[in-house]
Amino acid sequence: MALNSGRDVLFVATAEARDGEMRRRIEEHRKMRPSGWTTLEATGQLGEQIARNIGRSRTVVIDCVTLLVSNVFEEHAGSSDLEKEVMAEIEGIIDCTRQAEADFIIVTNEVGLGIIPGDRVSRLYRDILGRANQRLAVHADEVLLLVAGIPVTIKKG
Q: Please confirm, yes or no, whether 76 is among the known catalytic residues.
A: no
Q: Identify the H or E element spanning 63.
A: strand 59-63
DSSP letter for each residue of 71-107: HHHHHTTT-TTHHHHHHHHHHHHHHHHHHSSSEEEEE
Given the residues 29, 76, 126, 139, the one annotated as active site: 29
64, 54 in Cβ contact below 8 A? no
Report, in angstroms and rounded to the nearest whole number, the Rg of the chain calculated over CA atoms. Answer: 16
CB atoms within 10 A of CB 100: 17
Enzyme catalytic residues? 29
